[in-house]
Amino acid sequence: MARAMLREPDLLVLDEPMGSVDVSAQAGLYQLIGNIRTRINCGILLVSHDLHHVMSSTDKVICLNRHVCCTGQPQMVARDPEFIALFGQTGADAIANYKHHHDHRHSDHGEVIPLSEKAPHMFDKNIENSGPQI
């Protein structure tokens, strides 16, 4: 990812970026991806099977099942008949559409940690507080 960013691409393609990342670090990596998008002003094509993160952290979803089943904003895709046919109404309802719009994260013990304490040397405050926009 660092090598790709050096060229300041118009589009950054990430294929299963959370594949080898432990659960406790995934939220931080999604935040980093959002910050990269803002910082270099590029589009991000993210391939993932983690529907909770896809539905809560993206602007647009393209759902594939041997063809393009449905596409659009996550809340629209969650109500699409083809999406519901894939996961059933209960499964579709269980996939999170929640967006966390706070200026903090939580430690493994539930303590509130301001985002500014996360990696203050990596990003300036304006970018860091803009939130994920994948």
Each of the 134 residues of the chain gets a pLDDT tens digit; together they read: 888 888 889 999 999 988 888 888 888 888 888 888 888 889 999 999 888 888 888 889 999 999 999 999 998 999 899 999 988 887 777 775 655 556 666 666 667 777 665 444 334 434 444 444 44
- Alpha-carbon distance of 64 to 41, in angstroms, equals 26
Convert 24-42 to b/e letters by CB count within 10 Å (16 or more is b): eeebeebbbbbbbbbbeee
Nearest to 15, CA basis, from 47, 42, 53, 45:
47
- Alpha-carbon distance of 51 to 57, in angstroms, equals 10
Domain ranges of the chain: 1-48+108-129, 55-98
